[in-house]
Amino acid sequence: MPNTAVPSVASRRGVLAALIAATIVLPAAAQQPPQMQTFPTSSLVIETQGGQRHPFRIELALTPAQQAQGLMWRERMDDDQGMLFINPVERMASFWMMNTLIPLDMVFVDRTGRIVHIHENAIPHDTTPVPSRYPVLGILEVNGGLTRRLGIRPGDRVVHDVFRPRQG
């Protein structure tokens, strides 16, 4: 005779518990990138109009996948570190802080290396777009509040091979 027994209350509770656990775990897993990108490294210097020079060790976000990930999931970053996002051409840009755990200053840089805009202390996890305000070739992200502490302002220069100073 075939077993046609109705599942027990305990087994139904087990299935229910598994379904509840899956609904809790899946949204968290969906927020994790499928594969963490690696980034080439470089260095740059920010020269203030007052003559100060601030060196940084940076990671370069060059590919669409690297730029999509950016500094997401980082729990900390040293004050002499940052990430430079490089556009293929100078253009308007907009960033957000989805899945970014630390506050960041966003330094928007034109093709000549001039800082045209700084957005200070972008809020972790905020999905509000932060626009460049002007066409930019690069966006440097550093720890939140760092540009103010170092006296870095629009008009200062970012010295890196990707930026070409105006001639004459």
Domain extents in the chain: 41-159
* Helix residue ranges, H only, the chain: 9-30, 64-69, 146-150
For 39-61, the pLDDT digits (tens) are 999 999 999 999 999 999 999 99
For 100-122, the pLDDT digits (tens) are 999 999 999 999 999 999 999 99
CA angle, 41 then 117 then 143, to 5°: 45
pLDDT of residue 2: 45
Which of 142, 2, 158, 18 is CA-nearest to residue 81?
142
Predicted TM-score (pTM) of this structure: 0.80
Strands 81-91 and 136-143: antiparallel
Cα dihedral 66, 67, 73, 77, rounded to 10, equals 100
- Residue 32 — very low, low, confident or very high, per pLDDT cuts 50/70/90? low
pLDDT of residue 59: 98
Statement: residue 98 has pLDDT above 60? yes
Averaged over 71-87, what is the pLDDT? 97
Exposed, middle or buried: residue 132 (CB in 10 Å: 0-12, 13-18, 19+)? buried
Statement: residue 168 has pLDDT above 80? no
pLDDT of residue 33: 55
For 19, other C-beta atoms within 10 Å of its C-beta total 10
Region 41-159: CATH code = 2.60.120.1140
Statement: residue 31 has pLDDT above 70? no
Average per-residue pLDDT in the chain? 86
